[in-house]
Amino acid sequence: MSSNRASARQSGTDIPDHIKSLKLEQVNVFPLPVFQMAVPALAPHHDAIVDAFREKIDSGALPRNAHGFGYQTPANLLDERAWPAPWFREILAPSFRAACQRILANACTDWEPGMKRRWVNTMTIAWGVVQTGDTGGDNPWHTHVPALLSACYYVRMSARQDEGNFQFMNPLAANLFQPRVGELRPREGRMLVFPSFLNHRPSLSPHLGDDLRISLCLDGHFRAELFE
Ligand SMILES: [Fe+2]
């Protein structure tokens, strides 16, 4: 093959029009299931929630790296003794459980045909993750197994579009056709719900200054019951 012919083939100039015009359609057979839901009843309480977290950090009640990476609370958001205000028990957790039930209603199972099923929530836990401009180092990748579904609700985000985003690691083996890491831009007032097995992490917000990025995280544990 002459070098001219080879370069023409590489540049595509010798491809006939009926080949060039072929339409190639992408069909995503296995989409990554991540869900998003607005929770309008929580939005009026955002400022009070920010104040409550800020007070815990300023008073030393929420020391850095004491309960996980950065300024993370214990999993006590649904404990009335730790958080007397009803935001988390009466709005956050029921909204999450409702989202889970809707997602699980379409779960892929090969259980006994003809049997009805219900999903029983056996445990819901919730904790808060606060980022400052100096949260310190990269967040580690992690999953929430053995929970079934998990969520993050965003009270406050960094103003910069490239900070504080939600990164998911592709659950497929490394391949040429999909990126290894996917990233979503969370929105304040919305809850992201995802399968707990997905590896994920929040990206940092180094330019927050005096502001806070606050996400409220939940784990849902469920038991399936079959009945006639
Ligand atoms: Fe997480």
Summarised one tens digit per residue, pLDDT across range 160-204 is: 999 999 999 999 888 898 889 999 999 999 999 999 999 999 988
Distance from the CA of 5 to the center of ligand 1, in angstroms?
54
Q: Is 206 contained in some domain?
A: yes
**CATH number, domain containing residue 139:** 2.60.120.620
Q: Is 56 contained in some domain?
A: yes
- The helix (H) or strand (E) run that includes residue 128 is strand 116-131
Q: Is 158 contained in some domain?
A: yes
Distance from the CA of 142 to the center of ligand 1, in angstroms?
6
How many CA atoms are closer than 13 Å to the CA of 207, on its beta-carbon side?
Answer: 6
Summarised one tens digit per residue, pLDDT across range 107-147 is: 888 887 888 889 999 999 999 999 888 776 678 899 999 99
**CB distance 157 to 215 below 8 Å:** no
Distance from the CA of 202 to the center of ligand 1, in angstroms?
8
Q: Domain count of the chain? A: 1
Put simply, whether the predicted model's pTM sits higher than 0.75 gets the answer: yes
**CB distance 213 to 205 below 8 Å:** yes
If DSSP codes are grouped into helix, strand and coil, which group holds residue 47?
A: helix
Domain that holds residue 95: 33-227
Distance from the CA of 105 to the center of ligand 1, in angstroms?
24
Q: Is 155 contained in some domain?
A: yes
Q: CA–CA separation, 164 vs 186, rounded Å?
A: 8
Q: Is 111 contained in some domain?
A: yes
Q: Is 15 contained in some domain?
A: no
From the list 62, 39, 185, the residue with the least C-alpha distance to 131 is 62
Beta carbons within 10 angstroms of residue 62's beta carbon: 20
Q: Is 146 contained in some domain?
A: yes
Distance from the CA of 12 to the center of ligand 1, in angstroms?
46
Q: Is 131 contained in some domain?
A: yes
